[in-house]
A and B are shown apart, each in its own frame.
Chain A
Amino acid sequence: RKEVEQDPGPFNVPEGATVAFNCTYSNSASQSFFWYRQDCRKEPKLLMSVYSSGNEDGRFTAQLNRASQYISLLIRDSKLSDSATYLCVVSPGTYKYIFGTGTRLKVLA
């Protein structure tokens, strides 16, 4: 079993739709969680950190469920510019970051 698993997609959604991605992790001692966004042939960029109580940044909401060992990302009112690959990152401790293989999102006009 992979340490961090994501549905590779692609998720094809119309503009304005709400879409959600899940990411499961196997190490129950994991401490830090992140969502990164990666555009085609570009570097990953931090979208948001994920906090225990859940957090929101504009149209993006991240949740953490420690009991079931997954994190989620919800995107409301999807824009064409949201089309990208979303990487889930889990850290069990300092220096160690484990990346999922990413979920591809395509927002269609």
Chain B
Amino acid sequence: DVKVTQSSRYLVKRTGEKVFLECVQDMDHENMFWYRQDPGLGLRLIYFSYDVKMKEKGDIPEGYSVSREKKERFSLILESASTNQTSMYLCASASPSKTSTDTQYFGPGTRLTVL
């Protein structure tokens, strides 16, 4: 069965703290993604990675960085957390087919609150 796990379901941090969110998938997928989801705005792509050590900015990368040292693990880093980064963070993975985009599988999400 497909599995994407995230390190925490709920996290509370203070403004200015460095925050690490980890995501692990066991499906040997090449592509991994970090989104945030906010009411009325839907899911917005922060960063994605199509291979180990490769990363691309998504639509809202400001204030975030990522790390992909191993194929199964994709980390999202908030260098200096701010209150406007309070959100639900969702990790996803997908295996690209040669002719079309493949299905994304999501982790359970991390609800981050920055005080």
Contacts and interface: CB of A to CB of B under 8 A. Distances in A.
Interface string A30-59: 011010000001111110010000000000
Contacts of B101: 31-32, 91, 93-97
Identify whether the interface residues of A are mostly helix, strand, loop, or mixed. Answer: strand
A99 interface: yes
A27 B111 CA distance: 31
A34 B104 CA distance: 10
B100 A32 contact: yes
B33 to A, nearest CB: 8
A3 B108 CA distance: 26
Contacts of A95: 31, 48, 50, 56, 96, 101
A33 to B, nearest CB: 10
Interface in B85-102: 90, 96, 100-101
Interface string B52-93: 000010000000000000000000000000000000001000
Contacts of B106: 43-45
A34 B43 contact: no
Contacts of B48: 95
Interface of A: 31-32, 34, 41-46, 49, 87, 89, 91, 93-97, 99-102
Interface of B: 31, 33, 35, 40-43, 45, 48, 50, 56, 90, 96, 100-101, 103-109, 111
14 contacts: A42-B109, A43-B109, A44-B43, A44-B90, A87-B43, A91-B101, A93-B101, A94-B96, A94-B101, A95-B96, A97-B33, A97-B45, A100-B42, A102-B42
